[in-house]
Amino acid sequence: MVERGDETEMRVPAGLQGHDHQLTRRVAAWDSPAARRLLPAVEEAAEHTKLWWAAALVMAAKGGWRGRRAAAAGVLAMAVAVLLSNGVAKQLVERRRPPAEWIPHGDVADRPESSSFPSGHRAAAVAFTAAVAPSWPWAGAACAVPTVLVALQRVHSGAHYPSDVAAGVVIGGAAAALVRLPPRLPAPGRLPALTRRARGVTGGRRGMRAWGTLVSGGR
């Protein structure tokens, strides 16, 4: 990496860079009626995390307690991923977007000016899906489909290199893991037993102190 003021320009090892560039060109060159119809719609839905907010609302409204728990975990993980990718990584590491001449279609004109590394879209998608899946596996499986399409679209549009997308996967997975590791609380059925046990210990200690006071003459 090369220092530039407060930022660091990213340097990729030569071997990885060659594969990164080659795969970027291949994906960007994919031209089919399905790609022209599907990928722009995916980009529009995923912009500003609209797709994941909509999924969370549906899960919370239709999924009962499990749906609300999955939606809350997904939204929280997504927020952490967006903070880490856009608020931290992109501010510290500067990487130019793929050259416009590599992208043989008009999507390249809509690219943002921020650093290419990492993919914030991918980080948010993976974080949401990975956090939802443990609470509601079927919903997680359903979210995995647009998550894969988001990764494909980001490279196809020329917004990112595949390595940017891979970094987004790592950040999103880490965000989901952080959200899924809260302090463990006892199951609701065990609370009365634990309360009685605590009261018994407290009562026993009070009795021992009273007996000690009596034996010592109140000193």
Predicted TM-score of the model (pTM): 0.75
Residue 36: exposure state from Cβ atoms within 10 A (0-12, 13-18, ≥19): exposed
* Candidate from 57-71, 87-101, 165-179 with smallest mean pLDDT: 87-101
State pLDDT tens for residues 158-199: 889 999 999 999 999 999 999 987 655 445 555 455 455 555
Long-range contacts, 30-38 (Cβ 8 Å, 24+): 30/156, 31/104, 31/105, 35/156, 38/149
Strand partners, 9: 2, 94
Please answer whether residues 108 and 100 qualify as being in contact, where contact means their C-beta atoms are separated by less than 8 angstroms.
yes
Q: How many Å apart are CA 116 and CA 111, to the nearest integer?
A: 10
Residue found by looking up tokens 């995916």 in the block? 42
State pLDDT tens for residues 107-149: 667 777 889 999 999 999 999 999 999 999 999 999 999 999 9
Q: What pLDDT sits at residue 102?
A: 87
pLDDT band of residue 47 (cuts 50, 70, 90) is confident
pLDDT band of residue 58 (cuts 50, 70, 90) is very high
Mean pLDDT of 75-85: 96
